[in-house]
């Protein structure tokens, strides 16, 4: 009796499930899932990175000049993030950005100065036309203010990195001096052994 009740309940549930037609939109999505946006092929990524590296040179020079002039500057990183979009007829447009933290070299804290708590990004926009990247908008700066606390944390991280680098350099110098002393001692021993 109990097994027949469970079987009857399962049959009733299955009948109810399949009795009502699925909405047309759901049926369509299940047959043809939404297309995922494709990433750029490796060859196009490499050509974009090469093009962006050439275009970014003057911006690196500008930030180096600002640092030398004791003005706030952006410690740009040569790493690009990109977002490809695909238009009609397989047209590819890419927004690529690189960025870094902003520093004030007049304030102490690290070898770079004190971080202001602001991240700045330089955004480039290109379209692929006949296999070449063509600029469709002038590069523009975007910024993200993280606040003074984040600036203090960034400055502290850079200061720790500076200390670590100094310790590694000191260890390398000590190691090189010890190796030179050992080589000199070996040479003196070889010379003394050859005199006998």
Express each pLDDT in 131-169 by its tens digit: 888 898 899 999 988 888 877 777 777 777 777 877 888
79 secondary structure, DSSP code: -
User: Cα–Cα distance between 51 and 192 in angstroms, integer?
Assistant: 62
Residue for token pair 């690189």: 98
pLDDT of the residue at 138: 92
Query: DSSP of 58-85, one letter per residue?
Result: HHHHHHHHHHHTT--EE---S--EEEEE
Cα-based distances in Å from 33 to 25, 29, 71:
11, 5, 53
pTM for the structure as a whole = 0.59
Which residues lie across from 81 on neighbouring strands?
97
For strand 114-129 and strand 132-145, is the pairing parallel, antiparallel, or unpaired? antiparallel
pLDDT band at 28 (very low <50, low <70, confident <90, very high): very low
pLDDT band at 3 (very low <50, low <70, confident <90, very high): low
User: pLDDT, tens digit, for every residue of 91-116?
Assistant: 888 888 998 888 888 887 777 788 88
CB proximity list for 39: less than 8 A, separation 6 or greater? 84
> What is the mean predicted confidence (pLDDT) over 21-31?
42
pLDDT of the residue at 61: 92
Per-domain residue ranges of the chain: 35-190
The H or E element spanning position 173 is: helix 148-195
- What are the backbone dihedrals phi and psi of residue 121, each rounded to the nearest 5 degrees, phi first? -125, 140
Asked if 111 contacts 162 with a C-beta cutoff of 8 angstroms, the reply is yes
> What is the mean predicted confidence (pLDDT) over 25-32?
39
| Per-chain mean pLDDT for the chain | 78
Three-class secondary structure of residue 104 per DSSP: strand
- Res. 9: pLDDT tops 90: no
| Residue 73: closest CA among 101, 111, 108 | 101
- Please state the three-class secondary structure of 17-32 as a single string: HHHCCCCHHHHHHHHC
CB proximity list for 53: less than 8 A, separation 6 or greater? 78
pLDDT band at 25 (very low <50, low <70, confident <90, very high): very low
Asked if 126 contacts 133 with a C-beta cutoff of 8 angstroms, the reply is yes
């Amino acid at each position: 009796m109990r097994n027949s009740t469970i079987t009857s309940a399962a049959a009733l549930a299955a009948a109810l499930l399949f009795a009502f037609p699925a909405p047309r939109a759901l049926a369509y999505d299940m047959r043809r899932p939404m297309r995922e946006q494709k990433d750029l092929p490796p060859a196009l990524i490499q050509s974009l990175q090469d093009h962006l590296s050439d275009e970014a040179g003057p911006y690196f020079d500008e930030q180096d000049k600002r640092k030398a002039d004791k003005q706030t500057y952006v410690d740009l990183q040569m790493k690009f993030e990109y977002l490809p979009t695909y238009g009609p007829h397989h047209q590819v447009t890419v927004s690529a950005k690189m960025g870094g933290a902003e520093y004030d070299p007049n304030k102490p804290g690290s070898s770079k100065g004190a971080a202001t708590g602001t991240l700045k990004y330089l955004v480039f926009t290109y379209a692929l036309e006949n296999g070449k990247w063509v600029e469709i908008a002038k590069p523009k700066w975007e910024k993200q203010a993280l606040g003074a606390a984040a600036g203090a944390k960034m400055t502290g991280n850079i200061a720790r990195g500076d200390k670590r680098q100094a310790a590694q350099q000191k260890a390398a110098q000590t190691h090189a001096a010890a190796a030179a002393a050992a080589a000199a001692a070996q040479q003196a021993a070889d010379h003394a052994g050859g005199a006998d």
